[in-house]
Amino acid sequence: MVTRWGPSVLARIFRGVDSWDLQIIDGAVVVEQSGATHRAAVLEVRRPELQHTGWWTTVTLRTASGRVELPGARRSEADQIRKCILREQDLQRAATELQRGAEADLDRVAAWSEQLRQHAERPVWLAHDTLRGLDRARPALDSIDAAAREPRLGPFVGAKIAPVQQQIQNVRSLDLDDWAAARNEQFLAWESQESREFFATVEKTPLTGEQVKATVCFDNRVRVIASAGSGKTSIMVARAAYAARRELAQPAQILMLAFNKRAAEELSERVGARLGDTGSGITASTFHALGLRIIGEATGKKPSVPNDITKDKGIGRLAHVVDRLRDADPAFRRDWDLFRLVFGRPLAAFDEAPDPEAWDRDTAVSGFKTLAGEVVRSQEEVMIANWLFLNGVPYEYERSYEHDTADPQHGQYTPDFYYPQIDAYHEHWAVNAHGQAPPHFAGYAEGMQWKRATHQYYDTTLLETTSASIRNGSGFEHLARELQRLGQDLDEDPFRPIPGEEPITDAELLDLFRTFMVHAKGNQLDPATLDNTAPPGDLRTQLFLRLYATVVQAWNHDLAADRAIDFEDMINQATDHLEAGRWTSPYRLVLVDEMQDTSLARARLVAALTGAPNTYLLAVGDDWQSINRFAGSDLSVMSDFADHFGPAQTVYLTRTFRSPQTVCDIAGRFVTKNPAQLDKQVHASNPGEPTPVRAIAVEDKADYDAALDQWLTDLDNTLETTATVLVLGRYNKTEGPVSQAIGKRRRHLQVRYSTVHKSKGDEADYVVIAGLERRGFPSTIQDDPLLDLAMPGAETHPYAEERRLFYVALTRTRREVLLLTRAGHESPFLLELVGTEQTPVTAADGTDATPVICPRCKINRVVQKTGKYGPFFGCTGFPSCRYTSN
């Protein structure tokens, strides 16, 4: 397109038009006419006027200083002149606007760069919220980038943009997380020196480098994974003092939350003792005390928790509720007794083969014992037998069929059940709803066909049930109809004397329901939600949930009548008030102790307390010591910390001030056999004895006291100064067999007893773990699968929580650990230590008593037994493992 114009040649010849020349150069319109040059910025030129006369056009350009007429232009070129000037004006306006935008962006770049500089120089940790604020304020560079591409703005780019290219590049590509990490490392090093006197004196002993980092790392969310004996309480105290010292939070803005009242009181005492007047303004509280306060201040009415809930966790109150329901509601009473007598014990999955629990010497049947006293082969057959017992139906288990059926392919037929009063047989088929047996039941379908054909051939009555029908309940309804059709009376009597296996007791059932209630209410699962999430076709679950819905309704009704709440509602209601804005938290810094024992409900409360911008959460815990699942704790709160609270820093405390290195190594290897545990190293300043863990095996439980007494006496004689001994047991009752040895006064020893659960946070020079027997520690009371409906998912590793509990027991010691066991009844935990750590086991007289591990199951030990043919060696896991040898 022409960018230089003049009059038409014909116009000059025939009209005598004087020559003129028009150009657009560097944003200006330049006209040379009659020896004069006119120059005006494009933006100063008003819209060109065109006057057409015949073949030619006069172009008039007006500016503030005058006008220029350019006659004789061809029409097409006149149009070009106007279009080019107008287009150039548009481009000039756009460039000007672009420059203004770039200048504004440059101002924002300068401001953002100044923020970076100020944050880098502030004597405080750069927190996540600060970084996200910087990220949100990161200036856009669109105008600057566009200006750099615009040729008309070359001088501007050179003068204004080029000198700050590094700042622009920072805005464009600076990784704030990497930048902050490097800067925070520098700050940590500086602060460690700047405040070294503070860190040396804030606690009784100077903080370690790891403890200093946990104190200085003042991010919005910090998870401190602390080893046993690594000074967790010191971190809580130092963090609070540091926040007040650096004015990151005023004392009244600091909240310390503990798992129980004793821990909260200890925190309060430590803070008061170490921080003086500053500590008096800091709040140390249990979750429940905080919940009561929040509800009271939010509603104007502080609720109360009934004494019977505080005293025995509500078991007595629940018993009263259930007794009242049983008296008033026959349907509830029937369901309760049916569940207790028939459905009380959980079933293994259909395609699983559970380990047998009983052995009948007369019938050589290994399996499961019924209420009537015989041993049957499957859990489902136990349920059928117990249902028959409940309803007063006489039966014989695996009685020989009335006709001789033995042939080269089949032995004598023994149907599962025989009903003598109606002369009928009953086969219970191990098949699912599709008629399929478990894969490991080879030839099962052929066997079913042969048995049915046998009854048809001899014209005998056969009743049938299946695994699927017993599990979904229809099998019992079918069995009741068929028995009554054939003339069998049903006489339901839950109080009939029980000669065989005791059913689940009312006390056990109450404990199950109360535990379920704690978790269901804590996780805000009402009966309708539980029904929707329950697996279909499972009568045990449906029956339990039907009972639970009635129980929890009555429980809540009683609480409302008393104008009271339970602990679960307390936490949930407090969180509701926080989330709805009916209570405003005054706390800027929240410190949580024993985070691994926190429930989902408590985690929700903590998240609500620390959800506002520029609030700070520090949670201290050790997933290796998570031992309170039945109190509602959810290990995922610690292990999946960021999922619950948002992006977080993790700091490790790996140095222990308690146990020697040899104990730490043994205990660490033991607990991490469960791959779900977080991996960490534990370092001790004391190397310890080469064999810090040893065991004594007695012949009988009655020998425990004498063995412990002798060991304590020998230890006392070797000491010249006072030492402490902590005797630990899985249960309170474990103390009984060793109580005399514990109570005996000794010159150098202070001996006391505790359960392992209560010993959390405790320590002693020597630790004795008593009652380390099979079916004792680890506890073989399995978590009922019903609890998984309301609790954190079941852990897949065997004895996962019991393994952590044993770790807690081992790490209470400052010197050595003694394990007390019974020969032939050793705990699988002890057998594991013997196999992996070569833990020595001696008899009470000092002779070697190291157990022989079973070569077949590699879990239990081999001991001498006596059978009807004389002595032999067999696995203690019988009947699950049948290894024997001469």
Q: Which residues are annotated as a binding site for ATP?
A: 226-233
Looking up tokens 């010993």, which residue turns up? 759
| Residues 6+ away with beta carbon under 8 Å from 336 | 322, 325, 326, 509, 547
CB 390 within 8 A of CB 518: no
SS3 (DSSP) at 459: coil
**R_g of the chain computed on alpha carbons:** 42
CA dist., res. 179 & res. 34, Å (int) = 67
| Residues 6+ away with beta carbon under 8 Å from 163 | none
One-letter amino acid of 139:
P
One-letter amino acid of 375:
V
- Identify which of 779, 776, 867 has the alpha carbon closest to the alpha carbon of residue 826: 776
CB 670 within 8 A of CB 803: yes
CA dist., res. 366 & res. 337, Å (int) = 27
**DSSP H/E element including 874:** strand 870-875
Residues 464, 465, 466, 468, CA torsion sign? positive
Quickly list DSSP for 250-298: -GGGEEEEESSHHHHHHHHHHHHHHHTHHHHTSEEEEHHHHHHHHHHHH
CB 222 within 8 A of CB 651: yes
Quickly list DSSP for 14-60: HS-PPPEEEEEETTEEEEEETTEEEEEEGGGS-PPEEEEETTEEEEE
DSSP 208: P
**DSSP H/E element including 871:** strand 870-875
Phi and psi torsions of 728, nearest 5°: -115, 145
- Identify which of 688, 673, 695 has the alpha carbon closest to the alpha carbon of residue 804: 673
Q: Which residues make up each annotated binding site?
A: 226-233
CA dist., res. 241 & res. 200, Å (int) = 13
| Chain centre to alpha carbon of residue 580 | 25
Number of C-beta neighbours around residue 25 at 10 A? 11
Quickly list DSSP for 820-841: EEETT-B-HHHHHHHHHH---E
CB 688 within 8 A of CB 660: yes
Alpha-carbon distances of 472 from 178, 349, 371, 468, 479, rounded to whole Å: 57, 13, 22, 6, 13
| Helices 75-121 & 128-136 angle (0-180, nearest 10) | 170
* 490 burial level (CB within 10 Å; 0-12, 13-18, 19+): middle
CA dist., res. 588 & res. 360, Å (int) = 66
Distance in angstroms between the alpha carbons of the first and the last residue of the chain: 111
CA dist., res. 166 & res. 153, Å (int) = 20
DSSP 631: G
> Token digits for 367?
């399996």
One-letter amino acid of 529:
T
| Residues 6+ away with beta carbon under 8 Å from 576 | none
CB 24 within 8 A of CB 85: yes
CA dist., res. 594 & res. 741, Å (int) = 33
DSSP 860: S
> Token digits for 166?
């590094």
